[in-house]
């Protein structure tokens, strides 16, 4: 019987276990969106994860939505991430980078006075983190049809840069009400061009991006993150959520992506927020790519994770917040040891406190 602690090949990535560190925004980037030097320590401390998916990282200057988040579109950012990947690899770990465009979840103060871009010109009922604290997001402008190839090219360039920075793979962020989710859902997307209207049209840019990154670095180094029903960032439910994501998976599965990472329910909230047949989505992916890794996330504890992998419902489980305060989470899960609770006050922004000072089991022992 397969267990949570067994090794697995996630595409070409040989992972030591099926325990994945989910991407976690920590708002500690330095000037120019460069990862701070202590990020190398932070990620190396967590290198026992089967795979680390590093924090959401903007693909371009236009893609930023919060202060002090990292990018992967300048030489300085690539060099900063190289320090991180070298440290993780030296510690025996594997690490992928999540590629991010926030779309309308941004503010003009973060974009040089420019409006955020989206599938729509409608403003989200959401807030973002700026130098002035939490503020309402700015009104977006809808991307023009002739800008869509540039958006696809930005993702391709970011994937190429991620490999140049030493990452073992990438994950495209198409979840949580950010730009690609803004195109997918008809609760947000009100376009009348080739990227709006029908389910096929609304899926078009995601399919184009995944094909572009797969062509650039190899499908066996690419994954995608989806959150079919989350209301996060004012992402209302689609009028046909199951049909939408079944169609999208039908388009993506033949690409043989290394993994699909699915947030079940409401991100960081109830897993049963809205009905959805995740097993049907998995069947579509596995039907075209039996060796692909089906990765689940949201509120998993040890027992749930063990059962999901043993039953075949998941190939891997991604843990988020537990990795913040438990750098040796894999060992703690294996030994059924107590888990430390993260300090909410140091979750976003700040310095080394609450970032690289959480002790391991051995260090915490009297």
Q: Where are the domains of the chain?
A: 8-364
Q: Are 318 and 297 in contact (CB under 8 A)?
A: yes
Vertex 69: Cα angle to 65 and 74 (nearest 5): 100
pLDDT, position 59: 99
Q: How confident is the model at residue 278 (pLDDT cuts 50, 70, 90)?
A: very high
Backbone phi, then psi, for 17, in 5-degree steps? -150, 180
pLDDT value for 363: 82
132-157 pLDDT, tens digit each: 999 999 999 999 999 999 999 999 99
Task: Give how far Cα 109 sits from Cα of 25, 62, 130, 337, Å.
Answer: 19, 12, 8, 45
Which residues are known catalytic residues? 178
pLDDT for 122 = 98
Q: Which CATH architecture has domain 8-364?
A: Alpha-Beta Barrel (3.20)
Long-range CB contacts (< 8 A, 24+ apart) of 279-285? 279/313, 280/242, 280/246, 281/228, 281/245, 281/246, 281/249, 282/313, 284/246, 284/249, 284/250, 284/253, 285/249, 285/252, 285/253, 285/260
What's the pLDDT at 12?
98
């Amino acid at each position: 019987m397969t267990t949570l602690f067994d090794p697995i090949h996630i595409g070409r990535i040989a992972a030591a276990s099926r325990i994945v560190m989910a991407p976690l925004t920590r708002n500690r980037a330095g000037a120019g969106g460069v990862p701070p030097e202590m990020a190398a320590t932070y990620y190396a401390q967590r290198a026992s994860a089967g795979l680390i998916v590093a924090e959401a990282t903007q693909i371009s200057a236009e893609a930023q939505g919060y202060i002090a988040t990292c990018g992967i579109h300048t030489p300085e950012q690539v060099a900063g991430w190289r320090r991180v990947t070298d440290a993780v690899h030296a510690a025996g770990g594997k690490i992928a980078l999540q590629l991010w465009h926030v779309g309308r979840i941004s503010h003009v103060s973060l974009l040089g006075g420019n409006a955020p871009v989206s599938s729509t010109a409608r403003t989200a009922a959401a807030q973002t983190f700026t130098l002035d604290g939490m503020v309402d997001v700015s009104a977006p402008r809808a991307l023009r049809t002739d800008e869509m190839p540039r958006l696809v090219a930005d993702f391709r360039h970011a994937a190429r840069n991620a490999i140049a920075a030493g990452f073992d793979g990438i994950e495209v962020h198409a979840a949580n009400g950010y730009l690609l989710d803004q195109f997918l859902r008809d609760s947000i997307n009100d376009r009348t061009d080739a990227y709006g209207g029908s389910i096929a049209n609304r899926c078009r840019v995601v399919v184009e991006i995944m094909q572009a990154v797969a062509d650039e670095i190899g499908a066996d180094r690419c994954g995608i993150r989806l959150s079919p029903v989350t209301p996060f960032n004012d992402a209302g439910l689609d009028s046909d959520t199951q049909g939408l994501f079944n169609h999208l998976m039908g388009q993506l599965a033949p690409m043989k992506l290394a993994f699909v990472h699915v947030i079940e329910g409401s991100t960081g909230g109830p897993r049963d927020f809205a009905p959805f047949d995740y097993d049907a989505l998995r069947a579509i992916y596995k039907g075209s790519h039996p060796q692909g890794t089906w990765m689940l996330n949201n509120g998993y504890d040890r027992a749930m994770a063990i059962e999901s992998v043993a039953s075949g419902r998941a190939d891997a489980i991604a843990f988020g917040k537990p990795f913040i305060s438990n750098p040796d989470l894999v060992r703690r899960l294996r030994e059924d040891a107590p888990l430390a609770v993260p300090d909410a006050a140091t979750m976003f922004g700040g310095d080394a406190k609450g970032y690289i000072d959480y002790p391991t089991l051995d260090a915490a022992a009297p």
